[in-house]
Amino acid sequence: KSQKRSRTSFQSSNLLSQMALVRSERRQLKLRLPLPEAAERRPSFPLPLPPSAGFSLSDYTRVSILGRGNGGVVYKVLHRQTGAVFALKLISSSSSANVRVQICREREILRRVAGDSPSIVRCRGVFDLPDGDLAVLMEYMDRGTLDSALTSSGTFSEDLLADVAFQVLNGLKYLHNHNIVHRDIKPANLLVNSNWEVKIADFGVGRIMARTLDPCNSYVGTCAYMSPERFDPDRYGGSYNGYAADI
């Protein structure tokens, strides 16, 4: 029995050593060949944006500022003719090229989902303005972000928390079924309306995958909501979004 245990222990130790060696070689290879993903090196859609048609800022009245960040300002706006309320994100022409690429990536993703899911924010269009600014017209969510809703409402009841979680997971399922990985799920990127409908927004660092199980290896997102594998040099897949949703 002693010899059998010794032989088993030796085999296990040998297997662990081989696994460690393979892992070490993989990491060394990544260090020698730090090639970014093709999809991250260049956008998969044309730049600059095509000329806008049928959109004019003069058709909208700015009611209030909803937020600032990422090179732009988000306004609550009112359509003068119909009275419809929207959220309008204006990106300055002086914003960095990276910000503009993120906006274009968001446009491509929102085009692909095209308002088919009740758990994804609806985008009315991304427009190239005469002065070089970009305008993103979206549906207005009157409770703001889930972050701000939590601050104003206090602790959620179990029923409300379950409903919010269901909607977020339903949205993630829809995105993954369309080969889209969000990569920055957090309360600040989830919008809420007065009916407590929760919708996923801000796809600036999202990615359209060729296939559902294709891996990612770029370091983007918010650290506090990243799953452990996001900090590993090995590639990760879309399943990590579930980790962020759990948090």
Which residues are identified as catalytic? 184
Element (H, E) at 234: none
DSSP assignment of 65-78 equals: EEEEETTEEEEEEE
Q: Extract the annotated binding site for ATP.
A: 89
Q: Is the dihedral of CA 153, 157, 160, 162 positive or negative?
A: positive
Q: Extract the annotated binding site.
A: 89
